[in-house]
Amino acid sequence: MSGDGGDAVREDWDSALNRLLEGVNLDDLSIPLSSETQRVRLTFDAVHDRVADQLRDKVRSERLRRDAVLAIRRQFEEGSLVIDEALGLFVATLLEAFHGGGEVRRMPDPRDGRTRTWQVLASRAPGRTGAREPVVTVILSLRGLDALDRGQPALECRTGTPRNPRLVDFVAGSDIRLDIEDAICRAYQDILGTLRFDPISPDLRDA
């Protein structure tokens, strides 16, 4: 691991530990039961036990969160392969059959590596430039990874078209293969009337 990467990991741990310590509550050790009750004196041992008990629970929760982050990162890579395959099938099954083909481009990943974007290019209806243009965009995003984020890490997917950039949003899970195919089909339905009709089948071409 590079020095910068190690520093980032240490900073993430420091932020997480600070967050855990900020959540420790010692009020119940010293709050009087009534105005006439003498305040209980705090002792090092009592404070130690209280802090230790709370931190054990919080560290356990933090470890579970970190395990969830590792799992969601694996799912991000697996989901990327699914999207690669699904978009390739979309081009082969629909764009090549009815619109003269198309191509899939995966855009460069941002530096933080938390999003991944694909574009499908195809020829638009007559009257537009002959060059292929983006007609479908798919964005896969990691959420809830930072130490200070609340909630569980999640993998979100968005499929859009030029006129409906947020056409389909869903949280990716075990059914991502079915979900992404459904989302791409809905995007195709949204752009169908804007695509050039150039079928591969002679029967359709002569119709």
How does pLDDT run across 52-93, given as a tens digit for each residue? 888 888 788 778 888 888 899 999 999 999 999 999 999 999
The overall average pLDDT reported for the chain is 83
Please give the average per-residue pLDDT across 96-120, as a whole number.
95
- Would the pLDDT of 112 be above 60? yes
- The predicted-structure confidence for 157-195, as pLDDT tens digits, reads as follows 999 999 999 999 999 988 999 999 999 999 999 999 999
- Would the pLDDT of 9 be above 80? no
- Would the pLDDT of 49 be above 90? no
How would residue 125 be classed by pLDDT, with cut points 50, 70 and 90? confident
In percent, the amount of the chain with pLDDT more than 70 equals 73
Write down the pLDDT at residue 149.
63
How would residue 14 be classed by pLDDT, with cut points 50, 70 and 90? low
Write down the pLDDT at residue 205.
62
Write down the pLDDT at residue 22.
66
The total of other beta-carbon atoms located within 10 Å of residue 129's CB is: 8
How would residue 150 be classed by pLDDT, with cut points 50, 70 and 90? low
Hey, which of 22-26, 149-153, 171-175 has the most confident mean pLDDT?
A: 171-175
pTM: 0.75
- Cα(207)–Cα(197) distance, rounded to whole angstroms? 12
- The predicted-structure confidence for 126-140, as pLDDT tens digits, reads as follows 756 668 999 999 999
The more confidently predicted of residues 25 and 46 is 46
